[in-house]
Amino acid sequence: MNQALPPPPVVIDTEQLRRMLAGLEDPTAEKQVWWEHDAKNIAVEFCAALPSVFGKSLDRMTLWAKICSSIEAAFANVVNGDLDQFVQCVLEGIQAEPAQVLACDRFTEALSLLHTIRAADRQDWITYLKTHRIPVLVMAKARWQQFLAEVKAQ
C-alpha cells in the first residue's frame, strides 16, 4: 500500500536552538540591581500618583484593587515596551477623566519619571511592575498617604 508520506519533523541547527533557548531567559537576571532600586522607585511613584486621577465614577473603596487589576490588564495589552500605551491602558482601567489627568501635576511628574527609563528597559519595567504589583502597591499606598498628610498640613 502506497501512502503519501507526511512532511518530516522540523530540523534545527545549533544557532536556531540557541535562539529558542534565549526566549526562556529570565529577563531580570542581568538587571537585578536596577530592578531592586530604580525600577522599584519609579513603579512606586507611578502607582502613588494614580489615586490623584482615579475615576470619580468608581467606588473609592475599590481604589487599590482597581489599580492592581488595571496594571494586570495593561501588561497583557503591551508587548513592545510602549510606556505610553501602558499608561493609557492603566488610566482607562481606573476610568481616569482626561481633563483631570491633564490638570494633575503629580501625575505629570510621575509620567516624566517614567520616561527616564531607557528604551531597552521599558518592557522589563512593565514586567517588573506586573510581577511585583502587590508589594509595589503597598509602598505606593504609604507614599500616597504621606502625600495626603503633607497636603493636609499645608
39-74 as b/e: b if 16+ CB within 10 A: bbebbbbbbbbbbbbbbeeeeeeebbebbbebbeeb
Provide the minimum distance between the beta carbon of 19 and another protein in the complex, in angstroms, as a whole number.
9
Phi, psi of 10 (to 5 degrees): -65, 135
Residue 139: other Cβ atoms inside 10 A = 17
Residue 17 DSSP label: H
Tell me the three cell numbers of residue 17: 536552538
Select 22 or 99, whichever has its Cβ closest to another protein.
Answer: 22
Select 13 or 150, whichever has its Cβ closest to another protein.
Answer: 13
Select 21 or 149, whichever has its Cβ closest to another protein.
Answer: 21
Is residue 84 a contact residue for another protein (CB under 8 A)? no
Is residue 120 a contact residue for another protein (CB under 8 A)? no
Is residue 98 a contact residue for another protein (CB under 8 A)? no
Select 12 or 134, whichever has its Cβ closest to another protein.
Answer: 12
CA distances from 144 to 28, 83, 93, 121, 137 (A): 27, 22, 19, 26, 10
Is residue 3 a contact residue for another protein (CB under 8 A)? yes
Provide the minimum distance between the beta carbon of 33 and another protein in the complex, in angstroms, as a whole number.
14
Applying CB under 8 A, what is the total number of residues that bind another protein?
25
Is residue 24 a contact residue for another protein (CB under 8 A)? yes
Provide the minimum distance between the beta carbon of 130 and another protein in the complex, in angstroms, as a whole number.
13
